[in-house]
Amino acid sequence: MPAPSPTTPATTQAPAPVATTPTTPAITAAQQQAVDAAQNYLSDGQGFSAYSLAHQLTSSYGDGFSQADAQFAINYLNPDWDTQAVDAAQGYMKMGGFSAASLTQQLTSDYGNGFTSAQAAYAVAKVGL
């Protein structure tokens, strides 16, 4: 077998792979507005549960966002719900008159804050009840 000539490559190389970056879909204007509103609620120190934040964002008495946009904002921000529960519990403690049981009830009630039992238990322990 003859040796390859200097002008003929001995091996062929595959082209280098093209680097691609994953594309993220753009956030719609409504989603961005919902994110901004949710961030404002979460940062005000009142303490919102996922339930109460979704309700605030979608209520006609609140912001009136669609359920999908509100859920997008909540998922996008991924808040620390335990911290939010503590914020809510601290607010109730400032009002006074709460036992551990009544504070837990207020934090977990759909008419109150709508936190999970675990989030409420964490918050009640953190405020010292």
* pLDDT score of 16 more than 90: no
- pTM comes to 0.79
* pLDDT score of 11 more than 90: no
> Phi and psi dihedrals of 118, rounded to 5?
-65, -40
* pLDDT score of 83 more than 60: yes
Contact residues for 84 (Cβ-Cβ < 8 A; gap 6+): 42, 47, 48, 49, 115, 119
Identify the burial level of 31 via C-beta atoms within 10 angstroms of its C-beta, where 0-12 means exposed, 13-18 middle and 19 or more buried.
Answer: buried
- 30-68: per-residue pLDDT in tens? 999 999 999 999 999 999 999 999 999 999 999 999 999
**pLDDT the model gives residue 17:** 58
Give the Cα-Cα-Cα angle 60, 81, 63 (nearest 5 degrees): 15
Contact residues for 62 (Cβ-Cβ < 8 A; gap 6+): 55, 56
Q: Is the Cβ–Cβ distance between 109 and 96 less than 8 Å?
A: no
**pLDDT the model gives residue 46:** 96
Stretch 10-30: mean pLDDT:
68
**pLDDT the model gives residue 10:** 55
Identify the burial level of 106 via C-beta atoms within 10 angstroms of its C-beta, where 0-12 means exposed, 13-18 middle and 19 or more buried.
Answer: middle
